[in-house]
Amino acid sequence: MTITNGTGFHQIDRIGGEQVPPSGRLDGWLCEPGSGERIAQQATTDLAGVERAIAIADEIDRSGTWRMLPTETRALLLERVAGELDTRSEEIALAESTGSGVVISVARLFVGGLAGSFRGAAAQLRGGWLRTDLNEDGREVELLRLPWGPTVILVPWNAPAAMAATKVANALAVGAPVILKPPEWAPFGCNVLADAIDAAGLPAGVFQMVHGGPGVGVALTTDPRIRAISFTGSVATGRAIAHAAAEDFKAVQLELGGNNPVIIRPDADIDRTAASVADGMVKLNGQWCEGPGKVFVRPEMLEGFVDALERHLSTYRIGSNLDPNTQFGPLSHESHRQQLEDQIQRLVDQGAHVRIVECDQDLTGWIWPPRIVLGVDPNDCVDELFGPVVTVHAIDSDEEAIQLANESPYGLAGYVFGQDIQAAMAVGRAIRFGEVKINGTSLLDMSPVSAQSFWRNSGIGGHGDKEAFAFFCGTQIVGVDRQGLPI
């Protein structure tokens, strides 16, 4: 499979129902991550275009032309988007793999859920959650859930179209006009998602999309007409968005980073634990915010665990993201690879020893083999290493591991391994993280009704189908007041 300049590899603004190529360019280049081959220069919408998109969203919100449509009409339009996505699945998979470096077989799995996001939002809309009758004693009283207003959605480059689909579908379902900004490093998948939305025939301006880097993000998030922001990405950017939103008290949902702890109890099966941690390290080529980060293990188990981990990591087939037989592909872009190199070097300067998994082929593009970092103080391993790498630390007890885990400024996800399930569950309950998995590192939720909050610096808000739907709206109660109350 090779890259072409054809279908899917485009960057198009969607403003007020019009499709126009962005007029500006950034310094960076979009490249095929498996080879480093240049595809296109990063595009950016000019600030006049961003202003026009915001003004259109604001007018749609003020007029109520979208939010006041019958819920069944909105639901049918969302299902129409889902149908359009069904016909574009391979196109989106190729675009997503090219942007993120995620291997094509995994990208296809992700893409299978995009249409489901729109169908799921339509189902929740039909469930009647946006309006509840509270009539009492003949008085008409209703509880309404209304969209906050014009909504901005900013997604990261590791799975942009999948995240955008969930957020956009739910925001549109509740009646919010939406402006999406794809990541400047991986815009292609979101552009195919936008093609599907455009083809579904939503009213002009209800969904819009602009391109660019931090400058465009600042213009969107600081404008007082924007009333809700949903962002997934780095802590630094999330903190800047939180500061901007505080000026006029926008609603914010921020899913940020997490250096996620792995606690290995003394009764754990070391080989199975190492296999599971290895599996977690290579998911999305290590580029996922809930991946294993800091491993805590008893001193007498450490060497055996590291040897087993390295052995399991060496079994994955490394290669081009576009090769359907590849199990572990390249990083998304060159600057991210350099950032990881710099982070590892800082740990080496502090005394760390790094074991790099050997690869028996020529490494092209942004391929970065997995690494295991040893011999460094856990207090020096605070920040997230957003790649196929873990740091391993000796601890003497569950209590010490729990304390070290809870001292982290992050609280996104955690992992506990042990054969005594009740003891492992007790450790899981003792650490303050939104999701704690016992004896596994799967990427998917543990339950169809799963929910988790983003603790501490890992963000504001949380995951879950109902939570994703509920974020985009606030509550209002309207009705005939009670008579004869004493005060």
Same domain, 109 and 20: yes
Same domain, 344 and 445: yes
Say yes or no to pLDDT of 150 above 90: yes
Residue-wise pLDDT for 260-302, tens only, equals: 999 999 999 999 999 999 999 999 999 999 999 999 999 999 9
Domain limits for position 222: 13-256+461-477
At 115 the pLDDT is 96
At 464 the pLDDT is 78
At 27 the pLDDT is 95
HEC profile of the chain: CCCCCCCCCCCCEEECCEEECCCEEEEEEEEECCCCEEEEEEEECCHHHHHHHHHHHHHHHHHCCCCCCCHHHHHHHHHHHHHHHHCCHHHHHHHHHHHHCCCHHHHHHHHCCHHHHHHHHHHHHHCCCCEEECCECCECEEEEEEECCCEEEECCCCCHHHHHHHHHHHHHHHCCCEEEECCCCCCHHHHHHHHHHHHHCCCCCCEEECCCCHHHHHHHHHCCCCCEEEEECCHHHHHHHHHHHHCCCCEEEEECCCCEEEEECCCCCHHHHHHHHHHHHHHHHHCCCCCEEEEEECHHHHHHHHHHHHHHHCCCCECCCCCCCCCECCCCCHHHHHHHHHHHHHHHHCCCEEEECCCCCCCCCCCCCCEEEECCCHHHCCCCCCCCEEEEEECCCHHHHHHHHHCCCEECEEEEECCCHHHHHHHHHHCCCCEEEECCCCCCCCCCCCCEECEECCEECEECHHHHHHHCEEEEEEECCCCCCCC
Give the C-alpha separation, 364 to 454, whole Å: 36
Say yes or no to pLDDT of 4 above 60: no
Give the C-alpha separation, 146 to 127, whole Å: 15
Same domain, 466 and 381: no
Same domain, 129 and 189: yes
302 within a domain of the structure (yes/no) = yes
The CATH number of the domain where 176 resides is what?
Answer: 3.40.605.10
At 1 the pLDDT is 40
Same domain, 227 and 288: no
Q: What is the mean pLDDT of the chain?
A: 94
Residue-wise pLDDT for 418-459, tens only, equals: 999 999 999 999 999 999 999 999 988 888 888 888 999 999
487 within a domain of the structure (yes/no) = no
Predicted TM-score (pTM) of the model is: 0.94
Same domain, 163 and 303: no
The CATH number of the domain where 431 resides is what?
Answer: 3.40.309.10
3 within a domain of the structure (yes/no) = no
Same domain, 291 and 406: yes
237 within a domain of the structure (yes/no) = yes
Same domain, 440 and 298: yes
